Structure 1
């Protein structure tokens, strides 16, 4: 799930990046190492290459590229991003993926957390309060089930800054919340991340062919993720331009048809 707290520090020495986890986030370093190792085998070149892992410290190769966040992304970078995501989601063979631990903050956990947040909502204005009320009402009646679940390896972080464009291809970094997931949930988390729209709308989910049940699951998971960001953005942050929270309120109300 989206996290606005820094969990690590990076040291770059030539072509080697050292990532030190500093907040004691359980299992984060292990998930990062597992992802880099799996993807080095099944999708070489898509991510940094793993070098060494010890005591919560991951060493990996540095990859070139400009983060897509804040970039005026044209057709070529977005096409490359969709190709990179397709490779990420499908590269790990089903038999191998079945043995990978489920990534943190899957649908049930996120739903429970958001319901707690919204139940304790403090007034933020008429429209924001209405969005919280409508969101809580929708969540109370939503039963995600297994319909539309298509297993995928998930990075677990939708930040557009984790996608690096080198002029030819897009590669991916940051796997501390990675693991076994499903396609619709991963696309929803990515699509609703604030970085995907705050600097200019980037729509990536429509580049994937989904079955009817998958498309419905995507719609509902996007609603869920939009409520995550309603809460997160209700706390002022200098990272985002003025008016970001109000825009998120509008996004929530539109997604819920309210």
Structure 2
């Protein structure tokens, strides 16, 4: 899900260097960012910024990295060349770490069990305040979740991958020939179906210029288990986004009016 998309750090750009400053008690975000950058520099150089220095023990942790050239894909109309490059970068990231290295990486935050726990809490606190299409979507999504078996299923039968944990297309930079990736605050061990759903269901993939989801997903050769898991991950993440968007501050909205209603419609389509 990537709480980074809701603002958790300050970024300074100085020449070819990017300095990310994290708030006190950052929940391990700086450490995850630094771990990802150092591992990717060793095993997939060029795919992400180079790690330059870090102050992880400071009261306000700091991570310094190289600056990548390129334009964020969020809000851009993506042709087949850009979708190819995006899929290539995502696929390369998933398999970047050797299995022995990936085994030592902790699971990413905001994975299945954690999100289901959030949804159960939001069903008690946020659902009663919703109405109209948003409430309809919440009710349908929660009914599906109760019957989905996701609690017990987990990600059994699918191989682990390295995931960035944030599907915001703003973190994927197109330089005219390839896509490279930034922002690894929520990174960790995950699975491919969940990480692909992170991208397809993120608000940044549809609120402006919509990502061609079928074309994007068609670039991946999923196993039977991954293909079966993907729709369930998409529904789960779409439901989470519905609650997040319904809780947008009306005095300081982060998205255009009606975004929550649009998300409710998207979720209902996925559940149909």
Residue in 1 that maps onto 2:139: 133
Say whether 1:215 aligns with 2:227. Answer: yes
Question: Contact 2:32–2:185 (CA<8 Å) still a contact in 1?
Answer: yes
Residue in 2 that maps onto 1:174: 183
RMSD between aligned residues: 1.5
Residue in 2 that maps onto 1:153: 162
Deviation at 1:234, TM superposition (A): 0.7
Deviation at 1:114, TM superposition (A): 1.2
Q: Which stretch shows the higher mean deviation, 208-217 or 182-191? A: 208-217
Give distance in 1, aligned partners of 2:80 and 2:102: 31
Residue by residue, what CA displacement relative to the aligned partner does 1:67-98 show, whole Å, maximum 9, x if unpaired? 00111211111110100001100010011100
Deviation at 1:23, TM superposition (A): 5.1
TM-score normalised over the length of structure 2: 0.90
Partner secondary structure for residue 78 of structure 1 = helix
- Segments of structure 2 that go 5 or more residues without pairing to the other structure are none
Say whether 1:165 aligns with 2:174. Answer: yes
Say whether 1:241 aligns with 2:256. Answer: yes
Residue in 1 that maps onto 2:27: 26
Residue by residue, what CA displacement relative to the aligned partner does 1:164-206 show, whole Å, maximum 9, x if unpaired? 0000100000000101111111111111000001112212333
Structure 2 matches for 1:65-80, cutoff 5 A? 65-80=70-85
Question: Contact 2:76–2:209 (CA<8 Å) still a contact in 1?
Answer: no
Residue in 2 that maps onto 1:89: 94
- Segments of structure 1 that go 5 or more residues without pairing to the other structure are none
Residue in 1 that maps onto 2:124: 119
Q: 1:253 to 1:125 in 2, by over 3 A?
A: same
Give distance in 2, aligned partners of 1:72 and 1:126: 31
Residue in 2 that maps onto 1:226: 238
Deviation at 1:8, TM superposition (A): 0.7
Give distance in 2, aligned partners of 1:177 and 1:232: 17
Q: Which stretch shows the higher mean deviation, 178-187 or 129-138? A: 129-138
Give distance in 1, aligned partners of 2:24 and 2:8: 5
Residue in 1 that maps onto 2:51: 50
Q: 1:171 to 1:72 in 2, by over 3 A?
A: same
Partner secondary structure for residue 122 of structure 1 = helix
